[in-house]
């Protein structure tokens, strides 16, 4: 996702003005980062109302704790950490599962899949009608099943479009850890799509991709899973 390039005064200048009591500067800072903050919260929570609540609370915290902000890290990094922590708090308070009404859910999935280059899938499976409703639900479930850490790198890579180095800096981990988490997040999502990509007689893909959709792990507590643990052991 492409974000517009920053215009106007720098973040530091705006922060100085806010600390001097200029309310307009805070509005400007909010306008600059509200979409990105919402994108991150939406990617993490996958519910617009919850994401909006989290972004609201994040900006309130930014305002209250701005005197403690240290400019040795970028403002967005600081904001991102606040948003992420609030998302994790939200999981703990309200549970991890995103509640989507059945009808709304499948209609939405249909539209989103259309958006997400579903024509490519049709091209792959010309002889098989694609059940987009089921595919959308499976993808949605697979996204929900990602752990916080896997989801985090997925959001920063796919939504924010950050490089591995940038993700490592924001998340506060090594580059190899970022790659490992991203790899496992994508692999889990790939598993969700396997039944829809499998054509008759092609079992190899399922075998290569792992156990299948039914074995997706739900690890919301934020513990590292499989590959990352292996990487750390090495």
Partner 1 sequence: MNDELMIMLYLDGLLDGEELADFEARLQAEPLLLKQLKAQKISGAFLRAEVEEAIEHVSFERLHERVTGELPLPKKEKGGDAWYAPIYALWRQSQLPIASALVAALLTLFVVQQRGPGEDGALAGPSVELEEVSGAGAQTILIRQPAEAEASPVIWLLDEETEDHDEETKVAEPTRAKSEEEREGQDEPHRSAGAQLEALP
DSSP string, 48-96: HHHHHHHHHHHHHHHHHHGGG--TTS-HHHHHHHHHHHHHHHHHHHH-S
Closest separation in Å from C-beta 74 to partner 1 = 21
Binding string, residues 48-77; x marks residues near partner 1 by CB under 8 A: x--xx--xx--xx--xx-------------
Three-class SS of residue 163?
Answer: coil
Spatial separation of the C-alpha atoms in residues 9 and 7, rounded to whole Å: 7
Segment near partner 1 (CB under 8 A), from 5-13, 44-52, 85-93, 213-221?
44-52
CA distances from 96 to 4, 113, 157 (A): 32, 23, 21
Segment near partner 1 (CB under 8 A), from 6-14, 65-73, 82-90, 158-166?
158-166
120 binds partner 1 (CB under 8 A): yes
Spatial separation of the C-alpha atoms in residues 81 and 151, rounded to whole Å: 14
Both structure tokens of 116: 């997400």
Given a contact cutoff of 8 angstroms between Cβ atoms, the answer to whether 153 and 231 are in contact is no
When binding is defined by CB under 8 A, the residue of 88, 190, 226, 231 that contacts partner 1 is: 190
Q: How far is it between the farthest Cα atoms of the chain? A: 69
Q: Is the dihedral of CA 124, 127, 133, 137 positive or negative?
A: negative
192 binds partner 1 (CB under 8 A): yes
197-226: contacts with partner 1 (CB under 8 A): 197, 202, 204-205, 208-209
Q: Of 182, 183, 204, 185, which is closest to residue 139 (Cα–Cα)?
A: 185
Binding string, residues 161-180; x marks residues near partner 1 by CB under 8 A: ---x--------------x-
Both structure tokens of 204: 């190899």
Which residue's CB is nearer to partner 1, number 93 or number 208? 208
Residues that bind partner 1 (CB under 8 A): 1, 21, 23, 27, 30-31, 34-35, 38-39, 42-43, 46, 48, 51-52, 55-56, 59-60, 63-64, 108, 111-113, 115-118, 120-121, 124, 136, 139, 142-143, 154-155, 157-159, 164, 179, 182-183, 186-187, 189-190, 192-194, 197, 202, 204-205, 208-209
């Amino acid at each position: 996702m492409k974000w517009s390039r920053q215009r106007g005064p720098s973040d530091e200048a705006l922060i100085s003005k806010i600390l001097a009591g200029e309310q307009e500067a805070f509005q400007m800072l909010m306008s600059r980062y509200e979409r990105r903050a919402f994108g991150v919260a939406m990617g993490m929570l996958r519910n617009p109302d919850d994401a909006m609540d989290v972004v609201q609370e994040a900006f309130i915290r930014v305002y209250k704790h701005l005197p403690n902000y240290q400019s040795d890290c970028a403002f967005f990094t600081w904001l991102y950490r606040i948003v992420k922590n609030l998302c994790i708090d939200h999981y703990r308070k309200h549970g991890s599962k995103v509640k989507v009404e059945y009808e709304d859910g499948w209609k939405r999935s249909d539209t989103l899949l259309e958006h997400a280059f579903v024509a490519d899938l049709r091209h792959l499976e010309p002889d098989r009608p694609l059940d987009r409703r089921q595919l959308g639900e499976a993808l949605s479930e697979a996204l929900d099943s990602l752990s916080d850490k896997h989801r985090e790198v997925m959001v920063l890579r796919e939504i924010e479009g950050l490089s591995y180095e940038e993700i490592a800096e924001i998340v506060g981990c090594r580059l190899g850890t970022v790659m490992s988490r991203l790899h496992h997040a994508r692999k889990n999502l790939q598993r969700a799509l396997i039944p829809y990509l499998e054509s008759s007689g092609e079992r190899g893909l399922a075998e290569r991709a792992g156990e299948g959709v039914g074995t997706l792990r739900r690890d919301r507590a934020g513990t590292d899973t499989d590959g990352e643990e292996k990487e750390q052991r090495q």
